[in-house]
Amino acid sequence: MAGAVSGRAALGLACLLAAGPCGAASWQADGQSGELRFTAVQAGAKFTGRFTRFRVALDLDPAAPAQGLLEVTVDTGSADTADGERDAVLASQDFFWTEKHPQAVYRAKGFRVDGKGYIAEGDLTLRGVTRPVAVRFTVKPGARRTVMKGGARIGRLEFGVGQGDWADTTWVADAVEIAFELRLRPATAAASP
């Protein structure tokens, strides 16, 4: 049994390396195995924050990327910018409104190959608003871990993030950069003790 499991893991690694005709691999990551950051501009200065609680599920067959699936669920209340006052404002009704919208969800079905990586064209639901968002990413297997890296750019006002005076982009810019680096593990790992 152990030989069969390690054989499947080796086959999955070979598929990713060769990008050949192999079956899809299912991966997962979370706040304990990666980083999900956001960068914005406030009062002319960049600041970076991160979400500490999130879940990522990725299904990818390099031979058939159009069949791929990506789902990301983020606990909006886990935003951490290392500034307690700013974090409280982000959780408020004016921004994420975490009391009413505790999660943001991104779902994409099918990827396009772009150079050495992929583009996922999916939908992001944030603060109860759903909009299309393109996410660029790469998946690179290594000797010890498989790493997924990428990012996206969103306009916060499209999702109603920043109400009232906060809708004025002279104080907080509209563009927000999202970046992630995840140490993927096989989805079946969750079932192991």
105 sits in which H/E element: strand 103-114
Query: Does 2-191 carry CATH code 2.40.128.110?
Result: yes
| Residue-averaged pLDDT of the chain | 88
Model confidence at 178: pLDDT above 90: yes
Predicted pLDDT of residue 113 = 97
Q: Is the pTM of this model over 0.75?
A: yes
Residues 116-152 as b/e (b if ≥16 CB within 10 A, e otherwise) read: ebbbbebebbbbeeeeebebbbebebeeeebbbbbbb
pLDDT tens for 11-20 read 343 344 333 3
Using alpha carbons only, give the angle 38, 41, 46 rounded to the nearest 5 degrees. Answer: 75
Give the whole-angstrom CA distance, residue 161 versus residue 158. 8
Tokens representing residue 150 in the block = 């990428």
- Rounded mean pLDDT, 11-32: 61
Query: Where does the pLDDT of residue 142 fall: very low under 50, low under 70, confident under 90, or very high at 90 and above?
Result: confident
pLDDT tens for 38-82 read 999 999 999 999 999 999 999 999 999 999 999 999 999 999 999
